[in-house]
Chains A and B, each alone.
Chain A
Amino acid sequence: MSITTVCIIGNGDMGLRLQELLSKGDFRIMTSRLEEDYAEQASSADLVLEVAPEEMALKMEVLKDCDTRCRKETVLATTTANSWVTKLAAATGRPEKVIGLNFTKNPFEEKYLVQIVKGLQTSDDTVQASKEFLEKAGVSVARLEETPGFILDRVIASVVNEAAVMYSAKLATIEDIDRMMKVCVNWPMGPFEFADSIGIDRIVETLDSLSQQLGPKYLPCFLLRKMVHAGWLGKKTGRGFYNYAK
């Protein structure tokens, strides 16, 4: 199976950015807003990519709708950052054709990483076709079985959690911890800088779902919870581990 025609469904910047990104491959790409009638576009696509807001019900509605309109071999891809892939897939009549394609923009360079998330029922063919399609567009990919936090959030949230434990224990300052990771082992950012840009709420959600699935060692440090309670969610609120307000 080869993917040549793509339909991106969703409002906002992300849809446009993905269209631009994918246009580097030799594909026919159509973009449709959520409230538009995308039936015709979807019916001609080999792959439908939904970029609806991060709400399970919304995404499910779009995928179910596409399921009824698309050809039976069309791949339905969700960009969700949550581990909803298996669940979303099961709501359609083609769970083996449903896959997660989660895009992360590199904060330092003009490039993306796509985490290709295989749900329980996703077929190997669907994974392979998605991988080939993304590689043709020049995008780096990483395949994984659906798991809380996928690869990136899981690694970063775990590091942030340990750094928060160390800071809470007053072993070192926020600034020194970040700086040492950068100058001693060339990390691109320190753990607290990662935390503030990803969002403390997001980190805590990832740790909560990891601890639910994999045990108490992932339970978030209490400092992180207090920060969520205080509304210190990172850059987006002007206050996280660092203060961004002028």
Chain B
Amino acid sequence: MEINKICVLGAGVMGHGIAQVCAQAGYQVNLRDIRDELVESGIGKIRQFLAGSVERQKMSQMEADNILGRIRGMTDLAEAVRDVDLVIEAIVEDINVKKDVFRELDRLCREDTIFASNTSAQSITEMAMATKRPQKFIGMHWFNPPQLMRGIEVIVHDRTSRETLETMVELCKKLGREPGVCKDSPGFIVNRLLQIWYNEGLNMFDEGVAEPRDIDTALKAAYSFRMGPFELRDMVGLDVALASTSTHYRELMREQFKPPRCLIMKVKAGELGRKTERGFYEYQPRGG
């Protein structure tokens, strides 16, 4: 199926970046959030990003204007999805809110419109089955920031049609992105394997085998990982890390995903990583 017009739901961290990438590839994009100021804030960030690109001579002012011209911000859902071929959902990570939105979209959209969710941790299957078009339902998992990260996980569930999958893979390529297909399962490919990598590092610290600095150094120096597991955990935030590990543990029900003791204790202590200036490492106050 040919995609021409796209609606992105949610103008937050992910939604505005996704809308920008789609518009840059020449698609007409409706960017929808629930309040005007949220829509404006998202579009403001796109404008800022594009201005930066113009300044660094990565694109001309005219190109930037054209990209912005292809994005329409709005709050009215019916208007946002009118005549679109694809809806990319990037709203709050709450399965019930997402299911409600998709049920409503089911009524508002053309029968052949594809629904894609950018969820990181909710079940594609569960959302798909809340609609009357499970064969048109698929996961499209972007990475942050969408403007810069080249990979997209395309998530299929048992009833996703081959045509929907093919359309999606094709679209990713047209967006200049590299798709990887995965069946619906907790953490998909990337977050699931990352979890193991983090946990093994942290487990060794728990066992008294080595210190964070030595474990991080080993992985960076021997294999050129850009950051070690402790550094990356500190950067993302240890509360976020604990929540994510716990979700994987609960959903996959395997010991490999059990939250390491050191992570639990850090969160109890309120030492959440860079944002609190102390996590597995200590950091200088920001701007100080």
Interface residues of A (CB under 8 A from B): 104, 106-109, 111-113, 115, 140-145, 147, 151-152, 154-156, 158-159, 162-163, 166, 169-173, 176-177, 179-189, 191, 194, 215-217
Residues of B within 8 A of A169 (CB): 185
Cβ-closest chain B residue relative to A182: B151
Residues of A within 8 A of B183 (CB): 170-172
Cβ B225 vs Cβ A188 within 8 A: yes
Distance in angstroms between the alpha carbons of A155 and B218 in the assembled complex: 10
Taking the closest CB of chain B, its distance from the CB of A173, in whole angstroms, is 7
The interface stretch among B12-20, B62-70, B193-201 is: B193-201
- Set B192, B194, B209, B229: member contacting A147, Cβ < 8 A: B209
Q: 14 A-B contacts, Cβ less than 8 Å apart?
A: A113-B217, A115-B218, A144-B214, A147-B204, A147-B207, A152-B222, A155-B229, A162-B193, A172-B182, A180-B153, A180-B180, A181-B189, A184-B153, A189-B223
Taking the closest CB of chain B, its distance from the CB of A194, in whole angstroms, is 8
Cβ B193 vs Cβ A159 within 8 A: yes
Cβ B190 vs Cβ A144 within 8 A: no
Cβ B181 vs Cβ A173 within 8 A: yes
Distance in angstroms between the alpha carbons of A182 and B226 in the assembled complex: 11
Q: Is B79 an interface residue (CB 8 A)?
A: no
Residues of B within 8 A of A170 (CB): 183
- Set B178, B215, B254, B255: member contacting A151, Cβ < 8 A: B215
Residues of A within 8 A of B182 (CB): 171-172, 176, 180
Cβ B190 vs Cβ A217 within 8 A: no
Taking the closest CB of chain B, its distance from the CB of A220, in whole angstroms, is 13
Interface residues of B (CB under 8 A from A): 143, 149-151, 153, 178, 180-183, 185, 189-190, 192-194, 196-197, 199-201, 204, 207-211, 214-215, 217-219, 221-226, 229, 254-256
Distance in angstroms between the alpha carbons of A220 and B210 in the assembled complex: 24
Cβ-closest chain B residue relative to A103: B222
Cβ A151 vs Cβ B218 within 8 A: yes
Cβ-closest chain A residue relative to B195: A162
Taking the closest CB of chain B, its distance from the CB of A14, in whole angstroms, is 16
Taking the closest CB of chain B, its distance from the CB of A167, in whole angstroms, is 10
| B190, B207, B210 — most chain A CB neighbours (10 Å) | B210
Known: A166-B189, A172-B183, A179-B178. A151 touches B214 (CB 8 A): yes
Distance in angstroms between the alpha carbons of A107 and B225 in the assembled complex: 12
Cβ B208 vs Cβ A140 within 8 A: no
Taking the closest CB of chain A, its distance from the CB of B207, in whole angstroms, is 7
Cβ A159 vs Cβ B196 within 8 A: yes
Distance in angstroms between the alpha carbons of A154 and B196 in the assembled complex: 11
Known: A180-B189, A217-B255. A152 touches B217 (CB 8 A): no
Distance in angstroms between the alpha carbons of A220 and B226 in the assembled complex: 27
- Set B151, B214, B255: member contacting A143, Cβ < 8 A: B214
Cβ A109 vs Cβ B196 within 8 A: no
Distance in angstroms between the alpha carbons of A158 and B201 in the assembled complex: 10
Cβ A109 vs Cβ B180 within 8 A: no
